[in-house]
Chains A and B, each alone.
Chain A
Amino acid sequence: MNQGVLQAKLWYAQRISAMVLGICVAVHLVIIFYAIRGGLSAQEILGRTQGNLLFAVFYEIFVLACFVHAPIGMANILQETFPKSGVAKPIAWILALLILILGTTAVIGVFTGGQI
């Protein structure tokens, strides 16, 4: 594929994922405000989230949106800051995989209560 067209698609993916992230962050913040009404403890959080499929799906969508959004932005910043180094792509991929793996592990961990 033409490089420019690929970059245009990435730009599009970043914009769409930004919209998803906007909603996710808003919902996340509302949940935080709601959650801390009665003090904040791990037990209380896990009591609400463990085994709750809705929470798991919501936070996995959050993770996927980050997985798409952050590495594209990181690649752009690296490419502009170190244009000749060739580090942009590999670092962006590492970041993408880290977000996906760590994020999904966290979602599964919270959902199952660390049973897997």
Chain B
Amino acid sequence: MSNTNLKVKVWRGAQEGEFVEYLVPRTPNQTVLDVVTHIQRKMDPTLSYRFACRVGMCGSCAMTVNGVARWTCRTHVSKIVEGDSLEIAPLNNLPVIKDLATDMREFFNKWKGAVGFFKGDKTRYDDFTKVQPNSEERQLADAGIECIGCGVCYASCEVVQSRPNYLGPAALNRAWTLANDVRDVQQLERMTAVAGDAGCHACHSQGSCTEACPKSIAPTASIAGLKKLVARAAVRGSRWGKL
């Protein structure tokens, strides 16, 4: 690690704005979130950004760092610094509220739009449903279940960029985990919601979401699963009925 200052360009403004450069001292094991926090606490208290846990659990501190969407709390400066420069911008594909904070409403509304929520038909008086850990459905759901909704995949997706009504990788990944939840009772509604060009069939399988996901989830694989499941249900029907 060199002792020189970091030249950090930070996006200031909203949808319109500009990069402002700050000189931030380097420290050992410094994360990008440390850099942003240093600027806000020591240099310019008007800087807006969002974070909570600082340890990669909450999914609120994602930003575009040197052109790539990342969790700032789990990104060491030393791993991504180019020379002595960093460029920190808000996430792509989301409206900017101010500086580094984006408006995530659309992102989460799309989860709702993809019927990305659980609904069962059991009550507290019923016995537990037994789901075998090694059953195919459970394994498929497990592969995508760890998503914490940080928006990194959504910001990295080229299809979201060109089709603003596209549900996006996170919502579709959630839909896929629920499509494999044997207790859920809204499978037909979900398949209808994620069918077609606003849903899974618009995905180009380019894999940017999978490459960027900090949890190493593969939304591309989840979307491919949905494509097959939904198209089959539309043409041949499924065990829940025909679309």
Listed in ascending order, the chain A residues whose CB lies under 8 Å from chain B are 2-9, 11-12, 15, 76, 79-80, 83
Contact = CB atoms under 8 A, between A and B. Distances in A.
A34 B169 CA distance: 47
A7 B196 contact: yes
B162 A5 contact: no
Contacts of A7: 195-197, 201
A65 B163 CA distance: 28
B231 A4 contact: no
Given A7-B195, A11-B201, A12-B235, 18 more contacts: A2-B243, A3-B196, A3-B197, A4-B194, A4-B196, A4-B197, A4-B201, A5-B243, A7-B197, A8-B196, A8-B201, A8-B234, A8-B243, A11-B231, A76-B197, A79-B197, A80-B162, A80-B163
A6 B193 CA distance: 12
Interface of B: 162-163, 192-199, 201, 227, 230-235, 243
A54 to B, nearest CB: 30
Contacts of B232: 12
A8 B198 contact: no
Main secondary structure of the interface of B (DSSP, over half): helix
Contact of B231 (A2, A12, A83): A12
A89 to B, nearest CB: 12
A4 B227 CA distance: 11
B231 A9 contact: yes
Given A11-B201, A11-B231, A5 B163 contact: no
Nearest to A80: B162
Given A5-B192, A83-B163, A12 B197 contact: no
Nearest to B197: A7
A45 B63 CA distance: 62
Given A2-B192, A4-B192, A9 B234 contact: yes
A10 to B, nearest CB: 8
A69 B198 CA distance: 20
Contacts of B199: 4
B227 A11 contact: yes
Nearest to B235: A12
A76 B195 CA distance: 15
Contacts of B230: 8
Nearest to B195: A4
B231 A6 contact: no
A4 B162 CA distance: 18
A5 B234 contact: yes
Contacts of B234: 5, 8-9, 12
Contacts of B197: 3-4, 7, 76, 79
A2 B195 CA distance: 9
Nearest to B194: A4
A57 B201 CA distance: 32
A73 B162 CA distance: 16
A76 B163 CA distance: 12
11 contacts: A3-B197, A4-B192, A4-B196, A8-B196, A8-B233, A8-B234, A9-B231, A9-B235, A80-B163, A83-B162, A83-B163
Contacts of A76: 197
A9 to B, nearest CB: 5
B223 to A, nearest CB: 12
The 6 A-B pairs of least Cβ separation, nearest first, read A4-B196, A7-B196, A4-B195, A12-B231, A8-B234, A8-B195
